[in-house]
Amino acid sequence: MANTSLRQQLSIMRQSFFDEGILDHEQVSYLETLENEDDPDFIENVFTLFLRVSTRYIDSIGKALETSPIDYPVMERMMYRLKGSSDR
Protein backbone atom coordinates (compact mmCIF):
# COMPACT_ATOMS: atom_id res chain seq x y z
CA MET A 1 0.00 0.00 0.00
CA ALA A 2 2.77 2.43 0.93
CA ASN A 3 4.58 1.42 -2.26
CA THR A 4 1.55 2.49 -4.33
CA SER A 5 1.45 5.85 -2.60
CA LEU A 6 5.14 6.40 -3.30
CA ARG A 7 4.62 5.48 -6.96
CA GLN A 8 1.73 7.94 -7.17
CA GLN A 9 3.86 10.68 -5.61
CA LEU A 10 6.69 9.98 -8.05
CA SER A 11 4.26 10.03 -10.96
CA ILE A 12 2.82 13.37 -9.86
CA MET A 13 6.30 14.82 -9.33
CA ARG A 14 7.45 13.57 -12.74
CA GLN A 15 4.45 15.13 -14.44
CA SER A 16 5.03 18.44 -12.65
CA PHE A 17 8.63 18.43 -13.93
CA PHE A 18 7.29 18.05 -17.47
CA ASP A 19 4.63 20.73 -16.91
CA GLU A 20 7.16 23.20 -15.52
CA GLY A 21 9.67 22.53 -18.29
CA ILE A 22 12.29 21.11 -15.93
CA LEU A 23 12.30 17.83 -17.86
CA ASP A 24 11.88 17.47 -21.59
CA HIS A 25 9.34 14.75 -22.36
CA GLU A 26 11.02 13.71 -25.62
CA GLN A 27 14.44 13.33 -24.02
CA VAL A 28 13.09 11.34 -21.07
CA SER A 29 11.11 9.11 -23.43
CA TYR A 30 14.27 8.50 -25.44
CA LEU A 31 16.22 7.62 -22.27
CA GLU A 32 13.45 5.20 -21.29
CA THR A 33 13.94 3.35 -24.59
CA LEU A 34 17.60 2.80 -23.66
CA GLU A 35 16.75 1.11 -20.38
CA ASN A 36 16.65 -2.69 -20.70
CA GLU A 37 17.17 -5.92 -18.78
CA ASP A 38 20.96 -5.57 -19.01
CA ASP A 39 20.85 -2.11 -17.42
CA PRO A 40 17.53 -1.68 -15.59
CA ASP A 41 18.85 1.32 -13.62
CA PHE A 42 20.05 3.24 -16.67
CA ILE A 43 17.85 6.31 -16.17
CA GLU A 44 18.59 6.46 -12.45
CA ASN A 45 22.32 6.28 -13.21
CA VAL A 46 22.09 9.05 -15.82
CA PHE A 47 20.23 11.38 -13.45
CA THR A 48 22.55 10.55 -10.55
CA LEU A 49 25.61 11.31 -12.65
CA PHE A 50 24.10 14.58 -13.87
CA LEU A 51 23.25 15.69 -10.34
CA ARG A 52 26.71 14.78 -9.07
CA VAL A 53 28.51 16.62 -11.88
CA SER A 54 26.22 19.66 -11.91
CA THR A 55 26.67 20.09 -8.15
CA ARG A 56 30.44 20.35 -8.69
CA TYR A 57 29.97 22.95 -11.43
CA ILE A 58 27.62 25.01 -9.27
CA ASP A 59 30.09 24.85 -6.36
CA SER A 60 32.90 26.02 -8.68
CA ILE A 61 30.76 28.89 -9.93
CA GLY A 62 30.00 29.89 -6.34
CA LYS A 63 33.69 29.84 -5.42
CA ALA A 64 34.56 31.91 -8.50
CA LEU A 65 31.98 34.49 -7.41
CA GLU A 66 33.54 34.68 -3.94
CA THR A 67 36.99 35.61 -5.23
CA SER A 68 38.11 39.18 -5.40
CA PRO A 69 38.39 40.09 -8.17
CA ILE A 70 35.81 37.65 -9.51
CA ASP A 71 37.45 34.90 -11.55
CA TYR A 72 35.31 35.33 -14.67
CA PRO A 73 37.21 32.85 -16.86
CA VAL A 74 36.68 30.03 -14.33
CA MET A 75 33.07 31.04 -13.79
CA GLU A 76 32.40 31.17 -17.54
CA ARG A 77 34.04 27.78 -18.10
CA MET A 78 31.97 26.15 -15.34
CA MET A 79 28.74 27.76 -16.58
CA TYR A 80 29.47 26.53 -20.09
CA ARG A 81 30.08 22.99 -18.78
CA LEU A 82 26.91 23.08 -16.67
CA LYS A 83 24.87 24.19 -19.67
CA GLY A 84 26.49 21.53 -21.86
CA SER A 85 25.72 18.76 -19.41
CA SER A 86 22.08 19.80 -19.19
CA ASP A 87 21.56 19.99 -22.97
CA ARG A 88 22.12 16.30 -23.50
Q: What is the pLDDT of residues 2-38, one digit of tens each?
A: 667 888 988 898 899 889 988 888 888 888 888 888 8
Q: Which pLDDT score is estimated for 73?
A: 87
Q: Which pLDDT score is estimated for 30?
A: 87
Q: What single DSSP character describes residue 21? A: T
Q: Which pLDDT score is estimated for 87?
A: 67
Taking the domains of the chain in order of start, what are their residue ranges?
1-34, 35-88
> Cα angle vertex 50, ends 88, 71, to 5°?
95
What pLDDT band is residue 83 in, cutting at 50, 70 and 90? confident
